[in-house]
Amino acid sequence: MVLDYKKIMAMLPHRYPFLLVDRILSVEPGKRIVGLKNVTINEPFFQGHFPGHPIMPGVLIIEAMAQVGGVYAVVSDEVGEDKVTYFVGIDKAKFRRPVVPGDSLRLELEMVGVRRGIYTFAGKALVDGKVVAEAELKATFVDREG
């Protein structure tokens, strides 16, 4: 299953400049999801992080992983599109190397489990097959307002 940005936008409330997933490359309901973020020099965060030495902030790499997890929950029929994702925990986060303009960030999340409405994912971000960041993400889903 491949999803483009239009389908992703139908599932997530995020919009420019905070939508950090360009495409979903594959989904295995109950198991894993793989997303893609193409990092360009036009990203608004590069203006201040850092002038003359652009590096994607680690927290935004984690956020991109979380957005892929939100798509997973909708596509897997775990939650409806009327829900919004709330982070409840980030554990074991590690940043292995900088992500720079021109990188294609492959975001791989494996479903670890669900307990009392808390979903746990093991996430990795890769560039050219090398891990650049990893974390264990925990999220819950609440009703959208409005």
Please list, in sequence order, all residues whose beta carbon lies within 8 angstroms of the beta carbon of residue 50, skipping any fewer than 6 positions away.
none
> Per residue in 13-65, pLDDT tens?
899 999 999 999 999 988 999 999 999 999 999 999 999 999 999 999 999 99
- In the chain, the domains with their CATH numbers are 5-143 (3.10.129.10)
For residue 146, what pLDDT is reported?
Answer: 59
- Fill in the DSSP letter of residue 3: B
Q: Do the beta carbons of residue 128 and residue 112 sit within 8 Å?
A: no
Q: How far apart are CA 113 and CA 81, in angstroms?
A: 20
For residue 77, what pLDDT is reported?
Answer: 76
> Per residue in 54-108, pLDDT tens?
999 999 999 999 999 989 988 887 777 778 788 899 999 999 999 999 999 999 9
Q: Do the beta carbons of residue 49 and residue 57 sit within 8 Å?
A: yes
For residue 36, what pLDDT is reported?
Answer: 98
| Annotated catalytic residue 53 | no
pLDDT band at residue 111 using 50, 70 and 90 as cut-offs:
very high
Q: Strand, helix or coil at 76? A: coil
On the question of pLDDT at 1 being above 90, the answer is no
Please list, in sequence order, all residues whose beta carbon lies within 8 angstroms of the beta carbon of residue 99, skipping any fewer than 6 positions away.
39, 55, 56, 61, 105, 125, 127, 132, 133
Over range 110-119, report the average pLDDT: 92
For residue 144, what pLDDT is reported?
Answer: 79
From the list 23, 32, 49, 96, the catalytic residue is 49
Q: How far apart are CA 37 and CA 47, in angstroms?
A: 18
* Size of the chain in residues: 146
